[in-house]
Amino acid sequence: MRANEGLVILLIVLVIAAVWLSVKLRSEKKQRKRLADENQKLIADNALLEVDHLKFQLQPHALRNILAQLNTIASNLSKGMNSLCGTLDYILYEGNSNLVSIKDEMDFVEKYLKLNDLFITEIDAVISDTTGISTTSKYYETPCIPHLITAHFIENAFKHGDINHPEFLKIKTTLTDQVFELNVVNKIRHQTSNAQGGIGLKNMRKRLDLLQAGNFEIKTNCEEDQYHSILTIEFSK
């Protein structure tokens, strides 16, 4: 009887020990898993910190580039606004007179070209040569040519020309004591038709007939890749 009781007690002790050992193993397994999870989280957090660190290293350079671009845009916008204001003033207020001076008309051309520079990507694609203008000519500051007479030729070049061409537009203006000449050559797009004048050219001829009858000549020529216009006004006749 006592032997049986001892065996039962031994079995109970073994069961308790097995249960305790199982619980302990499970606890240690959970502990190891928790430590492993925490370690993985630390690794992930460290990786995020490194990414954020790199991001903050890169962002100032990106912001600096954006700032430089905004500064360029603001500068171009300011220049464009000044050119636009000057162009509008000339069109609206000088338009009260049928004739203007060479000086005033060339100031308008300069502002108009600066305004269109905002839309041209190629550097030096537009060249305006005014070295042939004699500022000592009596016609330089005397009203002698129709208001906005140069606008048709230059506006036509921007309308029909290839503004992406590196040698898009060349304008040469000369003035002597007897003759004013505007020489415009612009590169043309392949799909552009040979006719680059239209109703604008007809209206300009009518104005010249009224204000410079018999004293002007217009020549136009369309070659393979460029359009050439020449306006000549003689003051001696």
Find the domain containing 170 and state its range: 99-234
Cα 141 from Cα 133, distance rounded (Å): 12
Place of tokens 């007809």: 202
Cα 115 from Cα 85, distance rounded (Å): 10
Q: Which two tokens stand for residue 22?
A: 């199982």
For residue 13, being part of any structural domain is answered with: no
Phi-psi region of 230 (alpha: psi -120 to 50; beta: other; left: phi over 0): beta
Same domain, 46 and 157: no
> Which tens digits make up the pLDDT trace of 88-118?
888 887 767 788 999 999 999 998 898 888 7
Whose CA is closest to 220, among 200, 191, 190? 200
Cα 28 from Cα 139, distance rounded (Å): 105
Cross-strand pairs, 219: 230
Question: What local confidence, expressed as pLDDT, does residue 11 receive?
Answer: 64
Q: Which residue has the higher pLDDT, 145 or 35?
A: 145
Q: Which two tokens stand for residue 24?
A: 């302990």
For residue 79, being part of any structural domain is answered with: yes
Residue length, the chain? Answer: 237
Residue 121 has what DSSP assignment? -
Q: How many domains does the chain have?
A: 2
For residue 192, is pLDDT > 60?
no
Same domain, 71 and 169: no
Question: What local confidence, expressed as pLDDT, does residue 15 receive?
Answer: 62
Same domain, 135 and 227: yes
> Which one of 46, 75, 96 terminates a domain?
96
> Which tens digits make up the pLDDT trace of 2-60?
555 656 566 665 667 666 666 676 777 777 777 777 767 767 666 666 655 555 555 56
Contact 94, 143 (CB under 8 A): no
Q: What is the CATH number of the domain that holds 223?
A: 3.30.565.10
For residue 221, is pLDDT > 80?
yes
- DSSP E strands: which ranges in 76-225? 99-100, 126-133, 145-146, 169-175, 179-187, 216-222
